[in-house]
Amino acid sequence: MKPTCVRLAVLIATAAAVCAEPAPLGPADLPEAATKVVGTQREGVADLAFAADGRAIVFLSRESRRLNAARAASGVLRVVDTATGRIRLEATIEDNLYSASLSPDAGRAAAGCPVGDKTGASGATVWDVASGKVLYTAEAPPACWSSDSKTLVVRHRDTGEVLLLDAATGKVLKRLPCFRGQAFDMRCVGKKLVALGHNGQLKGEARLWDLESGAVLLERSDFEGPLMRYAATADDSERGWGYTGGLVRLWNLKSMKYTREYDSSGRAPAWSPDGDAIAIAWGDSVTIHRSSGDPVKIGGDLPPLRPPVRPKRGHGDTEPDATTVIPLITHTEFSPDGGEILVCGRDGTGSLWSTTTGVLEARFASPRRGTDPEIMDARWAPDGRSFVTAAATGDLLRWDRDALLEAWKGRAKDGK
C-alpha cells in the first residue's frame, strides 16, 4: 500500500474512533455541585496556586479599563473560596503583577510587582487575606512559603541573594548565600529550601539550605544544562530534571549523575509527586516514563501536526519550518497520588487518564466564548478530589473529580 493510502486509512480510522467517542462533558452536563465558577476574568488568568487544604486558590489577572480618554492596565490578585466561589481577597495595583502565591494556611497572599523608581526593579507586596490590608512590601519578588506559613522566601533577581522573611512582619530573618543564575524552581520541602536553575553560564545549579539555621546542605553548579524541576524521592536521592541538547535528563542531585534521558520536543514535562514518573507531551499525545517498566502512551496515534512550510522572506525570518510542532497540548499535571494525569488542550478540552494503564477516564470542555478557548493552566487540589482549570476566555472552573468520572461513564454507556 502506498504511503498516501496508509495515511488516509489512519485518518479514516481515527475519525471513526473520534465519532464513536462521547462528546466532552461541560458544566451543564454535571450536577450543580460538581462544578463551580471560581471566577470569570476579562483577559485570562495566570499563576494558579492552592492553599494547603485546597479550600482557597490564588490567581492573577491583567485587566484593562478606561481612565479618562485612555486605557490603563491593572494587575489584579484574587483569593477565592473554591467551595463557594466567594472572593476572600481582591487587590488591584496599577501595574503588572506576577508570581502570585498563597501561604499554606491561606492567611496571607503575595505577588511580585514593580517597586521604587528604578526601571525593572521588582519586589513583593504581601496582603492579609482576612482584612484585605497590605501588610508590607519586600525588596525582592516572592519565591515560596515555609510549610508552617511563618516564613516567606524572597529572592533578588539581579544579585541572586535569598532572604528569609518573617511572614507576619516582613522582617529579614536570614540572608542566604547567593544563587546567581536564574532559578527555575524554588520551594520549601519540610525544613529544607530547594533552588534549581543555572549558574549564569548555562550550567545547571542546585542548592539546598536548612531553613532553621540557613546552613547549606547541598551545593552543585556543574550540571550539563539548566535544572528545571525538583522532586523529593522516597529514597532521599534528591532528583531534578533539566534540558540538555534537546533531551530531558533526570539527575541525582547528590551524585551529579543523570539516570535517564528522553526526547524533550514538545511541551515542558510534568513530574509525578514521587519523582518516579515523568510525562512528556508531543503533538497530541503524552508519554509517561517510569524508572522501570514500559512507557505508557496517552492520546492520539497520529504524528505531531505541523504547520505548512512557507518560503523564507529574508534574514531574520521566523516563519515555522518543517520541524515546528503545533502544541496541541497546553498543560499536563499528575494527580497528588500520581494515579491520574490531567491533560488540557488548545481547543478548550481536557481529559483525565490513568497513568498506569493509559485508559481515558473522562473528557471535559471549558465553556466556549470568543475565538480562543485554550485551557492555559490547571491545578489539582491537594486532596485530589477536584481540580481547577483556567481558560484563555477568562473562565476559572472547579471540577469535582468523582462526579466527572461518574457522568462520563453514564455518557459512554448511553453512547452520546
- With H, G, I as helix, E, B as strand and everything else as coil, classify residue 276: coil
Q: Is residue 292 part of a domain?
A: yes
One-character DSSP codes across 175-244: EEPP--S-EEEEEEETTEEEEEEE-SSS-EEEEEEETTT--EEEEEEEESS---EEE--TT---EEEEEE
Host domain of residue 378: 270-305+323-416
Of 129-133, 169-173, 293-297, 394-398, the range with the lowest mean pLDDT is: 394-398
The residues, ordered by sequence, that sit 6+ positions from 362 with a Cβ below 8 Å of its Cβ are: 25, 351, 352, 404, 405, 407, 408
> What spatial distance separates the first Cα and last Cα of the chain, rounded to whole Å?
35
pLDDT score for 14: 43
Evaluate if residue 98 carries a pLDDT over 80.
Answer: no
CB 276 within 8 A of CB 293: no
pLDDT of residue 8: 46
Residue of higher predicted confidence among 268 and 142? 142
Mean pLDDT of the chain: 78
Residue 304, pLDDT score: 42
pLDDT of residue 266: 57
Domain assignment of residue 108, yes or no: no
Q: Considering the domain boundaries, does residue 344 fall inside one?
A: yes
> What CATH number is attached to the domain comprising 284?
2.130.10.10
Instruction: Judge whether 373 lies within some domain.
Output: yes
Residue 206 belongs to a domain: no
Angle CA 279–259–209, to nearest 5: 90
Whole-model pTM: value is: 0.79
**Residues ≥6 apart with Cβ < 8 Å to 68:** none
Q: What's the pLDDT at 105?
A: 94
Q: Tell me which of 168-172, 235-239, 324-328 is least confident.
A: 324-328
402's grid cell = 468523582
Comparing CA positions, the residue from 169, 163, 51, 188 lying closest to residue 109 is 51
Smallest CA-to-CA distance from 248 within 260, 233, 256, 230 is with 260
Mean pLDDT of 43-55: 80
Decide if pLDDT at 114 tops 80.
Answer: no
- Rounded distance between C-alpha atoms, residue 377 and residue 389, angstroms: 6
41 domain residue, yes or no? no
**377 within a domain of the structure (yes/no):** yes
Note the pLDDT of residue 75: 77
**DSSP codes, 34-88:** GEEEEEE-SS-EEEEEE-TTSSEEEEEEEEEEEETTEEEEEEEEEEEETTT--EE
Whether residue 201 is predicted with pLDDT greater than 90 in this model: the reply is: no
Residue with the bigger pLDDT between 334 and 19: it is 334
**What's the pLDDT at 16?**
43
Tally of structural domains, the chain: 1
Residue 346, in any domain of the structure: yes
